[in-house]
Amino acid sequence: MVEEVDLVVVGGKIISSASNIIDDGAIAVKGGKIIDIGKVDKILDKYKALEILDRKDSIVLPAFVDCHVHTQQYFLRSVINDKLLPMPPLWTEVLIPFEKKLSREEAYYSSLFSLMKMIKNGVAYFLEAGAPYPDELYNALNTLKASGIITMATYNVYKGEKYDHKQILNETERLLKNYGKDVVWCSIRQIMMASKELIEGLVELCEKDNTGITYHLGEYQGEVDFSLTNYGKRPLEAVDSLGVTKIKPTVIAHGVYLSDTEQELAKNRGISVSWSPTSDSILMGNHWLSFNAHRVNFCIGSDGGALSTLDLLVEAKIARSVGKALSVGLVYDKSTPTSTELFSALTENAGIALNKKIGKLEPGYIANMITINPENILPAIDVIEGIISFATGNDVRDVIVEGKIVLKDRKFVTINEQEVYEKVNDSIVPSIKDKVLELIK
Ligand SMILES: [Zn+2]
């Protein structure tokens, strides 16, 4: 009997995962999930599709996942120049003050703009690093019919002032109640910006609601000194002593200053690390990750539109170069990170990090996938090497989120892109410009 399905995607090549590539394949999708994958003739015999996306001339692969993105910092684009960079730390002097100045409407358009750029680059799932207006991010997600994890900018210590931690905990609780634990995680901005009470309250909340957590950690030398002074321990050991590492799943952002003991701890606690190759290179210098001897699960984060192109294929190229430059330079090790490891970091590893059925094209997985025009990677003898080394977000053709086509032939199905662009250009840019100029004068 022929089973009816919502969608069949046909591909000249289907990358089911880094270790499984099918020539002339097809994927059957029903109820937002992949129900079957195999040779095209077999799939078309077995299923009757309401819609067929015929991409025999293209490559079908899992959509990419951004493990660390600040969707509401987009409009700082072109502001963080070399003059501002030495300002230590950048977040207390520029990023947080900027977030404080944003209006709700600006935050909404920043989220929408970020998500649109991400989708056009083939990124169909993300972990927000901590938004000042999480509700506006949720609204933007809904407008686009996109999908990801929302967190709130969570801190109660800023420039010597300490705010009430209970109020902040109540806000996270409200978000969890409104949108659910599939969509909302807890976050901590930084241990330097959170009191012990806030951190312990978050642990309690995450455990009660059985939700994940993400935090910036091991990202700044001053933070390591702060932690040694205030806790007598390095940052990951400090949060470990406060019970934070019990929370599952946990994604640490950056982690460029994790010591050997901390890397071992991350591995033992099942914590994943999100590497931001562009911003970590620019802001932090050398990275431990290219010497990832402890094999901590790592995924890749853009760190947001203020510092990066939001294109994870560009991040992968920088990761490959930086990784090689460091490992070859110091120990003449040419092996890490390989293109296959980087492909997994953008897909499968991220699924593990976020504990979601994403990042692979297999039955039972959420149908988040993209198609890529192979023109720039021909002759595509090794298709994964080709994608990591030569493709960029511009080569992405279609994006499917939870079984629904959101971007078709680079055109949004869910929104009018031109209208959003005009609104941003005509009314958001002028007010943002004033605020930014005030901030950096
Ligand atoms: Zn960040």
Tens digit of each residue's pLDDT (9 = 90 or more) over 334-392: 777 899 999 999 999 999 999 999 999 999 999 999 999 999 999 999 999 999 999 99
CA 247 – ligand 1 centroid, Å: 20
Round to whole Å and give the CA distance between 213 and 215.
7
272 alpha carbon, distance to own chain's centre: 12
Lowest mean pLDDT among 72-81, 120-129, 224-233: 72-81
Round to whole Å and give the CA distance between 187 and 189.
6
The pocket of ion ligand 1, defined by CB under 5 A, consists of 129
Extended beta strands in 190-305, E state? 213-217, 250-254, 272-275, 298-300
Q: Are 74 and 304 in contact (CB under 8 A)?
A: yes
For residue 64 the two structure tokens come to: 């990419």
CA 153 – ligand 1 centroid, Å: 10
CA 177 – ligand 1 centroid, Å: 25
CA 182 – ligand 1 centroid, Å: 21
CA 323 – ligand 1 centroid, Å: 20
Q: Are 299 and 67 in contact (CB under 8 A)?
A: yes
pLDDT band at 291 (very low <50, low <70, confident <90, very high): low
User: pLDDT (tens digit, 9 = 90+) per residue, 89-135?
Assistant: 788 888 889 999 999 999 999 999 999 999 999 999 999 999 999 99
CA 70 – ligand 1 centroid, Å: 6
87 has pLDDT over 70? no
**Per-residue pLDDT at 108:** 98
Q: Calculate mean pLDDT across residues 303-326.
A: 93
Q: Calculate mean pLDDT across residues 73-86.
A: 86
More confident residue, 368 or 285: 368
**Per-residue pLDDT at 89:** 76
CA 301 – ligand 1 centroid, Å: 9
Round to whole Å and give the CA distance between 125 and 351.
10
CA 383 – ligand 1 centroid, Å: 31
CA 189 – ligand 1 centroid, Å: 8
Q: What are phi and psi of 288, to 5 degrees?
A: -75, -25
Please count the other Cβ atoms lying within 10 Å of the Cβ belonging to residue 329.
Answer: 11
Round to whole Å and give the CA distance between 369 and 377.
19
Hey, what domains does the chain have and what are their CATH numbers?
3-63+360-409 (2.30.40.10), 67-354 (3.20.20.140)
More confident residue, 311 or 322: 311
The percentage of residues in the chain with a pLDDT greater than 90, rounded to a whole number, is 83
**Per-residue pLDDT at 331:** 76
